[in-house]
Amino acid sequence: MSLSSNSFKHWAMKVYSSITTSTPLRSTGDMTKCYGENMPEVKAHLDKGYIELLQLKFPGRPQVTFSFFLRDRDHRVRVLCKVKSDKRTAYSSTVITSLLIHREGSCLMLCHPSSGEEDRVAWANLQFSTLEYMVLFFCTFIALRGQDSSDPVSRIKDYQLDGEELVFSGETIDNHYIHALHIYVDTSTRAVRLHATVLHGELKHVPVWTAFIHQYVKRPRSWMRHVEQEVIYLTELQPTVFINSDEYKPSTTARGEHIITFTSSEDAVMFMESINEISHVLRKK
């Protein structure tokens, strides 16, 4: 990851710092590629008015480097592909709000929508070796695009990652904010994660935080406590947060337990039952 300013702080700059698990993905699909047109002057343009938030290098020949750039005054985000071969270095860039994202096996495809409902024009294909890196990229993309106030994206359609099974959804209250809390299970690797999103308004479906929990759910009794009708404590959780810390921090106890407060006792019970069922399935494998 590459940062362009020591004083500027943004959640995306440390999005990969909280990874505690590594779930390999079986490589499928095409190699990492950028399909956008070459824009020789775009890097100089971005260096003048934008801050580089995050940079990922994808192995291969040619080598592709993908970056998110932020214009702070209106949270405008542009994405940049740098393609370096033995003969030349090419750059291509576009605004994040012009792109849709979807998963194909171990790849994430970034596409421009076309006139037809299902037609899309590929801009980049990114190949990932672990599920965690793929999921955090996906969430970062959706969050940055949702927070771009220069051209807000409403009625988000690509908020769910293909290849994951939704096994629970409930409504929570967290620091006076109403969120949707989901449990996703990846169908190919059986990795499990919690995923909190905005529930209402223009930012509906935009990620708030996500956390992988498959390393904990095999022992739910020592990890999860039902302390009140609507309240559950999780003793260990490493959430990756997609909001700046001066605006939001997940609720925790003095001992560092993560507090999940549902708006109904029924959701709390269903959450516990879902975790126990996942635990039973994983222990059998």
The reported pLDDT for the residue numbered 154 is 65
Question: How is the beta sheet containing 63-71 ordered, strand by strand?
Answer: 51-58, 63-71, 76-84, 89-95
Q: Fold match between 11-147 and 164-284? A: yes
Neighbour-count burial for 92-117, b at 16+ CB within 10 Å, e otherwise: bbbebbbbbbbbebbbbbbbeeeeee
- What's the whole-model pTM score? 0.94
- Tell me: the pLDDT tens digits for 121-167? 999 999 999 999 999 999 999 999 999 987 767 667 889 999 999 99
Instruction: Tell me if 83 sits within 8 A of 64, measured CB to CB.
Output: yes
The reported pLDDT for the residue numbered 3 is 38
Mean pLDDT, all residues of the chain: 92
Q: What number does CATH give the domain 11-147?
A: 2.30.29
Question: How is the beta sheet containing 207-212 ordered, strand by strand?
Answer: 164-174, 177-186, 192-198, 207-212, 240-241
Distance of CA 100 to the CA centre of its chain: 14
The reported pLDDT for the residue numbered 117 is 59
Average pLDDT (241-252) is 93
Instruction: Tell me if 64 sits within 8 A of 141, measured CB to CB.
Output: no
What is the residue type of 154? S
The reported pLDDT for the residue numbered 5 is 53
- Tell me: the pLDDT tens digits for 160-205? 999 999 999 999 999 889 999 999 999 999 999 999 999 998 889 9
Average pLDDT (96-121) is 88
Q: Answer with the residue of higher pLDDT: 23 or 118.
A: 23
**Binning pLDDT at 50, 70 and 90, where does residue 2 land?**
very low
Calculated CA dihedral for residues 22, 139, 197, 267, nearest 10 degrees: -30
For the chain, the domains span 11-147, 164-284
Hey, what CATH topology would domain 164-284 get? PH-domain like (2.30.29)
Q: With 50 as the cut, is the pLDDT of residue 1 above it?
A: no
Distance (Å, rounded) from C-alpha 191 to C-alpha 133? 13
What is the residue type of 207? P
Average pLDDT (21-33) is 94
- Tell me: the pLDDT tens digits for 49-99? 999 999 999 988 889 999 999 998 899 999 999 999 888 999 999 999 999
